[in-house]
Amino acid sequence: NEPELRRSFVLRFADGIATSTLVFAMPLMIYNATQSVSWSGLAFLIEWLPRLIAIPMAGSLVDRFGSRRMFIVADGSRAAMLLIAIVITLLQPHLWPILLGVGVVNGLLSQLSFVAAEHMGVQIKTRKSPHEVQSVQVGIDQTVMVMGPMLAGGLLLFGTLGVLVGVLLLSVVSIFFALRLQLVHTVVATGRLSVLSGFRRGWSVISNSRPLQYVVIGTIAFNFLLAFITVITPAIVKGEFQGTDG
């Protein structure tokens, strides 16, 4: 069922590029509005803290209610939030704290949609082996990490509204393909799922694997570096190139 697999890849790409674009655009939009590196750093923190909290919950929700349903709920909620933010921005252009709210909600919903999209990829009957499907999904994830900042920069040429409208359109595309996706089976857990037991199981696996410990430490260090670069970039660009407020 290759058409279904391609649809799952498209929705994963659309959702991923929407998330990545908003993540990288948010500090720039806040900096443009406040001229403060502290506020842009706070915006990044506000966006990522909910995501960290949502990581263990996302898997449980997907297991309990189904991957496609949770994906549509997550991206549909983000689309509704962006639509509200666009209206508020049109009516009150200087009401920049609304962007912090967008960051919080996006942080929560993006993790849920990511886990749901990951799960949908293995619920499609295809001639490809699971590791082949997974390799394509990883390739998509790496691609959106590179394209997100590029698209964020391009949309910022049209100001805050340009970013919000662009991400809204990407969210609509992902919802459209999710609605058309036919899954072979949906695993729904009926019992009460324990997030804490999942943490214990994961910690046990990491504790017993030295190579995995190195991977985890390296990933943490990379993400701290990425966060630092993302936060200070707006001030560097403005200071060195005298950028204009978007």
pLDDT digits (tens, 9 = 90+) for 197-243: 666 766 787 788 888 788 878 877 876 776 677 666 666 665 554 55
Structure confidence at residue 29 (pLDDT): 85
Q: What is the pLDDT of residues 58-110, one digit of tens each?
A: 877 887 888 889 999 999 999 999 999 999 999 988 888 888 888 888 888 98
Distance CA 102, CA 84 (A): 10
Contact between 42 and 59 (Cβ < 8 Å) = no
CB within 8 A of 220, min separation 6: which ones? none
- Structure pTM? 0.78
Quote the radius of gyration of the chain (alpha carbons, Å): 19
Q: What is the mean pLDDT of residues 173-181?
A: 90
Distance CA 244, CA 241 (A): 9
Q: Is the pLDDT of residue 40 over 70?
A: yes
Contact between 124 and 67 (Cβ < 8 Å) = no
Give DSSP secondary structure letters for 113-161: HHHHHHHHHTSS--SS-HHHHHHHHHHHHHHHHHHHHHHHHHHHTTHHH
Structure confidence at residue 198 (pLDDT): 61
Q: What is the pLDDT of residues 127-160, one digit of tens each?
A: 666 677 778 888 888 899 889 888 988 998 898 8
CB within 8 A of 233, min separation 6: which ones? 27, 28
CA distances from 19 to 63, 90, 97 (A): 22, 22, 19
| Residue position matching structure tokens 């190195």 | 214
Structure confidence at residue 197 (pLDDT): 67
Structure confidence at residue 235 (pLDDT): 61
Query: By percentage, how much of the chain surpasses pLDDT 90?
Result: 22
